[in-house]
């Protein structure tokens, strides 16, 4: 790991903490699970819940941990990013029995030649129409690729690892966060840095667009800033967390901002006030990530209420009613840290992935476990395709797999 990262024990999670934390705590996490809930008693997953091998495609090719995966929004292409300094695009459309993989090698210029960067790919995101894939790497570069695996542009302005990057909805800008304490808005067409924001006093860990021109960022400095293109200081800052802020997400309408932290709390913020709207305290360990449901007013599923999911190192996932600020369901079947959660496009299901090697799929209404699959490595990321009939997952042993939920 870069010295700049090791200088701070327990740097950002997709890679560094995973690499030192999981080796330290693996195996102990399960023992700290608090008093068993009634739902814990029937831990045996029955045959109807277990996803059979016939419904699973395991994709092999990566030579190291696979930290991230994301479905193309318009086709069944699954992208994955790994510690082997490659991203890959897998064609999961039905006509391919042995899925084709495109290898996107992350190289840097050295002595006039292209050499592998040997650095982890930490983040990736498809643009809204699925024509371009952006990746962020520990080598400090963001890159844009076409769906046929060609490198379209290299974005170089960060000094050190990139931890997160996102396209805006319109697809004309990319936003990135780095160890160099800055966030950058890039012009996707030219690959040039449009504006660099230097308001954090420590590495920036996550970013999320609020509109096509405004965004929030969070950092190990415990602060959250909301910034806007063309404005040279934050238009809003939120303080209240007492440890590093791991992830931030705007709700589907961009009204509420959720944040989660190593301080074991989840906070909801509004642009209308300085203090948090809700301070949700229930997890007993660090909260690694959060996701909003694609439901509620203004979404494709307006008749379902908006909920927030949080995934924690305490091995649980919690579903929250954000309007009232209370926990609706605690999902307790995992036995190790939970790194990823993802809602199905209709909001009826939630997938969760944990270092216990399991992907669980839950009903968001009842909180019951619906499907379950145990892979061969700790799960870093889970994601749904746009139709909501396939779940992709990436794992610590280099595997990527796809669960086909049709006719389940």
Band of pLDDT at residue 96, cut at 50, 70 and 90? low
12-40 confidence digits (pLDDT tens): 345 434 333 333 333 333 333 333 333 33
Centre a 10 Å sphere on the Cβ of residue 397 and count the other Cβ atoms it contains: 14
> What is the three-class DSSP state of 108?
strand
Report the CATH superfamily, name and number, of domain 57-404: YVTN repeat-like/Quinoprotein amine dehydrogenase (2.130.10.10)
Q: HSE of 114 in the Cβ direction (CA atoms, 13 Å)?
A: 5
Band of pLDDT at residue 99, cut at 50, 70 and 90? confident
Q: According to the model, what pLDDT value does residue 348 have?
A: 97
109-157 confidence digits (pLDDT tens): 878 888 877 899 999 999 999 999 999 999 999 999 999 999 999 998 9
169-199 confidence digits (pLDDT tens): 999 999 999 999 999 999 999 999 999 999 9
Q: According to the model, what pLDDT value does residue 36 have?
A: 35
Q: What is the 3-state secondary structure (H, E, C) of 234-266?
A: CCEEEECCCCCEEEEEECCCCCEEEEEECCCEE
- How far, in Å, CA of 247 to CA of 377, rounded? 24
Q: According to the model, what pLDDT value does residue 115 have?
A: 80
263-298 confidence digits (pLDDT tens): 999 999 999 999 999 999 999 999 999 999 999 999
Strands (E), 12-168: 56-59, 66-71, 77-82, 86-91, 101-105, 107-110, 113-116, 121-126, 132-137, 141-146, 151-156, 162-167
Q: Decide which of 243 and 45 is more confident.
A: 243
Task: Return contacts of 344-348, CB within 8 angstroms, 24+ apart.
Answer: 344/384, 344/388, 345/294, 345/300, 345/384, 345/386, 345/387, 345/388, 346/294, 346/300, 346/301, 346/388, 347/293, 347/294, 347/295, 347/299, 347/301, 347/304, 347/307, 348/304
Q: Decide which of 379 and 39 is more confident.
A: 379
Sign of CA dihedral 389, 258, 162, 339: negative
Per-residue pLDDT, averaged over 344-368, amounts to 97
Q: Decide which of 222 and 36 is more confident.
A: 222
SS3 content of the chain, % helix, strand, coil (to 5): 5, 45, 45
Q: Are 224 and 207 in contact (CB under 8 A)?
A: no
Q: According to the model, what pLDDT value does residue 268 have?
A: 97
User: What integer best gives the mean pLDDT of the chain?
Assistant: 88
Among the listed residues 10, 1, 18, the one whose alpha carbon sits nearest the alpha carbon of residue 396: 18
Label the pairing between strands 287-292 and 317-321: unpaired
- How far, in Å, CA of 359 to CA of 3, rounded? 34
């Amino acid at each position: 790991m870069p010295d700049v990262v090791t200088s701070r024990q327990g740097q950002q999670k997709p890679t560094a903490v995973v690499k030192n934390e999981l080796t330290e705590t693996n195996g102990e996490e399960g023992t700290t699970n608090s008093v068993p809930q009634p739902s814990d008693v029937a831990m045996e997953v029955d045959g109807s819940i277990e996803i059979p091998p016939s419904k699973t495609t395991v994709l092999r090719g990566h030579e190291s941990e696979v930290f991230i995966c994301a479905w193309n929004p318009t086709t069944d292409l699954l992208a994955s990013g790994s510690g082997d300094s490659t991203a890959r695009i897998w064609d999961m459309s039905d006509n391919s029995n042995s899925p084709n993989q495109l290898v996107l090698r992350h190289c840097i210029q050295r002595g006039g030649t292209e050499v592998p960067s040997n650095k982890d790919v930490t983040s990736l995101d498809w643009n809204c129409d699925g024509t371009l894939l952006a990746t962020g790497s520990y080598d400090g570069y963001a890159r844009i690729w076409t769906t046929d695996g060609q490198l379209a542009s290299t974005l170089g302005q960060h000094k050190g690892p990139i931890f997160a990057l996102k396209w805006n909805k319109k697809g004309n800008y990319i936003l990135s966060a780095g160890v160099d304490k800055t966030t950058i808005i890039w012009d996707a067409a030219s690959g040039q840095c449009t504006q660099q924001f230097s308001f954090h006093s420590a590495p920036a860990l996550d970013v999320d667009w609020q509109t096509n021109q405004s965004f929030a960022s969070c950092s190990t400095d415990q602060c959250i800033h909301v910034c806007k293109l063309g404005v040279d200081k934050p238009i809003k800052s939120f303080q209240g967390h007492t440890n590093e802020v791991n992830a931030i997400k705007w709700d589907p309408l961009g009204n509420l901002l959720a944040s989660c932290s190593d301080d074991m709390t989840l906070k909801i913020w509004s642009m209308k006030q300085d203090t948090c709207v809700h301070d949700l305290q229930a997890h007993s360990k660090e909260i690694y990530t959060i996701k909003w449901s694609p439901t509620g007013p203004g979404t494709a599923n307006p008749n379902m209420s908006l909920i927030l999911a949080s995934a924690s190192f305490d091995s649980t996932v919690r579903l929250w009613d954000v309007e009232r600020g209370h926990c609706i369901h605690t999902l307790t079947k995992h036995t190790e840290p939970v790194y990823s959660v993802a809602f199905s496009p209709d909001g009826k299901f939630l997938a969760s992935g944990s270092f216990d090697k399991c992907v669980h799929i839950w009903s968001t209404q009842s909180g019951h476990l619906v499907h379950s699959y145990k892979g061969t490595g700790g799960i870093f990321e889970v994601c749904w395709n746009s139709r909501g009939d396939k779940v992709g997952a990436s794992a610590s042993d280099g595997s990527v797999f796809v669960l086909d939920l049709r006719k389940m």
